[in-house]
A and B are shown apart, each in its own frame.
Chain A
Amino acid sequence: MTTKPRTLYQKIWDAHVVDTRDDGTSLIYIDRHLVHEVTSPQAFESLRVAGRPVRRPDLTLAVPDHNLPTTARKDAEGRVLPITDPESAQQLAALKRNAPEFGVRYIDATDAEQGIVHVVGPEQGFSLPGATIVCGDSHTACHGGIGALAFGIGTSEVEHVLATQTLLLKQSKSFEVRVDGQLGAGVTPKDVVLHIIGVIGTAGGTGYVIEFRGNVFEEMSVEGRLTVCNMAIEGGARAGLIAPDETTIAYVQGRPYAPRGEDWDKAVAWWNSLATDQGATFDKTVSIRAEDIQPTVTWGTSPEDTSAIGGVVPAPEDFADASKRDAVKVSLDYMGLTPGTKLTDVEVQNVFIGSCTNSRIEDIRAAAAVLKGRHKADNVKWAIVVPGSGLVKAQAEAEGLDKIIVEAGLEWREPGCSACLAMNPDKVPAGERCASTSNRNFTGRQGPGSRTHLMSPAMAAAAAVTGRLTDVRELVG
């Protein structure tokens, strides 16, 4: 029997169709649902009002991350410290109350496994290759790094999934982003994805699911792949995918929620069949040479505003599109930057290493490798390293990375979303710059008036050391 060659996306989609309607929408089964405190209270409330249960609490996992302060959560006697912001406290309390009421597994703020939902999912083996995964958070795209079809949803959809374990979806178009060749020294997965967004633009992937293909992704660690897929949403795509392979399977094996025994063998066989077939076609393709990617930073207020670190701040006139010219004008004004300034002359006062994009153990190691034996510059007033989970924190401490970080004058914090979106007390002051490993440089994202420059953990560590945007290759050869 011959079947039409299919993409990875098509194969996962096909395995999850419950029903297809005449208008082309499909009811898609959801295998794993991650829940956090910000986008779930109204969903649980609606269920309560309608008297509806959670259909599959066993496929649902709740963990608080956005609101949690990253300072100590317990005092010296082990007593849990209260959350001082009353609104944050109320939202965290709502999740802690809702999860047991609806029978949903819950990881508490003080549990060793707590962390950013997109770090916890893969780390626990809750997120699996080939699965459909949703969460009320746009960076759910992250889980595509292990070959899952994962995307962010709004609160009404959270309610829909809680009640029915399904979503009504229209299939997206397919977008192949290829990166082939040899990445240069100092060029990390974050640089790869920032460069890609610079090429395709923030709306380049709208209506598409991106599959990242090419030897660069094949040779990348799972953690690197999670970083790349995490930012697919910044390129407008609801989901990013990288085919599961031996690297993925080795990563998943033995994790707490990973399948075992006979189920494991079945899983591996299926995962090995998921890669895009030879001859399958994509609706759109972009190819990038790995050699063209340099350590990359953003200069503006859109993630597409990227430049190699060796570049200069562009001028509005450098852009062909009239509305982009206007946007650049506004953005340079907000960022306090003058066209023609060398990026390496831009001083930073804050450094944030963390977020669901870059807070895994490899990220902490990369930052520590740059910080080792060095100290942050005097003009850097605030520099924090926020591990993605309690387990990442413990691992880093076992390797002595926390000591390197603290000796370099940076703060070593408790896990959470932190200054990525500044819902907790970690904020960048107005008018100040932050070298940040997060995913969005939007106006006011890290606090009202904050100015964000996105980059990799190694580059952020280099910026901490010199007090300005820096080519990490000048520090470590």
Chain B
Amino acid sequence: MKAISHVAGRAIPFGRKNVDTDVIIPAHWLKTITREGLGKGAFEAVKKEEGNVFENPEFSGAPILIAGDNFGCGSSREHAAWALLDMGVTSVIAPSFSDIFSGNAFKNGILTVALPQEAIDRLMEVAQTDPIEIDLETQTVTTRFQDRYRFEIDPFRKHCLLGGLDEVGLTMAQGDAIAAHEAKARDSLPFLAKTPATA
């Protein structure tokens, strides 16, 4: 996973609420067996709407997406995160995110920034004409108009994002603790610790 500390650039003022992962990447794009190339399918239906924000060339390759409440709800497809990355988005700002999406985003080095709706409204306005900056170290979103919003982030996630750390590798280093749990479970919850060999 690529480390991320600072994101600066144009932000796509998308703004919609309850954007589900079927909207971010429709199911017929899920047949891939690699992570690349999904940007083409991102927001496919939205891109067919007249005057949609994605057809504005100013936002082509923009690193930030601004959305409404409950971004990434619905299906657990990680393809949604891969599609965003493939279109160049490395950070999403919204009032809230679905649990599964925020996990998928984090695991792919996408910074999700949750801010109150008032801040979103203001950033949507700024995004029309000017860039936005996000600094993970100081947990702030700023604009050249002196706007400054602080956001919260889980300390472990911050640590991993800043260091580009591989979570699987980190957990594998705890192999002894996992083995100890398995040994305990074989004794106390044997019916969960194994499946019948003959099944």
Instruction: State the A residues within 8 Å of B (CB).
Output: 15, 18-19, 21, 23, 25, 27, 29, 31, 38-39, 41-42, 45-46, 50, 52, 55, 58-59, 66-67, 85, 87-88, 90-91, 94, 124-126, 128, 130-131, 136-138, 140, 152-157, 159-160, 163-166, 168, 170, 172, 202-203, 206-207, 233, 236, 238, 256-260, 263-264, 266-267, 270, 302, 323, 327, 421-423, 440, 442-445, 448
Contacts and interface: CB of A to CB of B under 8 A. Distances in A.
Nearest to B197: A58
Given A203-B96, A207-B99, A52 B195 contact: no
Interface stretch (B25-33, B124-132, B133-141): B25-33
Contacts of A128: 191-192
B199 A256 contact: yes
Interface string B186-198: 0001111111100
B115 interface: no
Given A130-B192, A257-B195, A154 B78 contact: yes
B31 A88 contact: yes
Contacts of B17: 323, 327
A153 B106 CA distance: 13
A266 B187 CA distance: 11
A18 B178 contact: yes
Given A152-B100, A267-B191, A137 B28 contact: no
Q: Which of B22, B76, B185, B190 has the most chain A CB atoms closer than 10 A to its own CB?
A: B76
B31 A67 contact: yes
B74 to A, nearest CB: 6
A323 B108 contact: no
Contacts of A444: 22, 26, 45
A327 to B, nearest CB: 6
Nearest to A126: B195
Given A164-B172, A422-B27, A156 B108 contact: yes
Contacts of B68: 323
A91 B31 contact: yes
A159 B76 contact: no
A270 B100 contact: no
B195 to A, nearest CB: 5
A267 B192 CA distance: 8
B176 to A, nearest CB: 10
Q: Which of B20, B81, B154, B190 has the most chain A CB atoms closer than 10 A to its own CB?
A: B20
A138 B177 contact: no
A94 B33 contact: yes
| 3 A-B pairs with least C-beta separation | A259-B191, A156-B107, A87-B31
Contacts of B177: 18-19, 27
A281 to B, nearest CB: 22
Q: Which of B26, B98, B191 has the most chain A CB atoms closer than 10 A to its own CB?
A: B191
A423 B27 contact: yes
Nearest to A420: B27
B174 interface: yes
B171 interface: yes
Contact of A440 (B74, B81, B182): B74
Interface in B153-198: 154-156, 167-168, 171-172, 174-175, 177-178, 180-182, 185, 189-196
Contacts of B23: 442-443
Contacts of B175: 164
A264 B73 CA distance: 38
A50 B171 CA distance: 14
A19 B28 contact: no
Given A21-B156, A39-B76, A164-B168, A58 B20 contact: no
A88 B68 CA distance: 33
Contacts of B108: 156
Contact of A18 (B20, B31, B174): B174
Nearest to B160: A168
A327 B18 contact: yes
A29 B178 CA distance: 8
A66 B79 CA distance: 15
6 contacts: A23-B154, A39-B77, A203-B96, A257-B199, A442-B20, A442-B74
Given A153-B76, A207-B99, A327-B18, A260 B181 contact: no
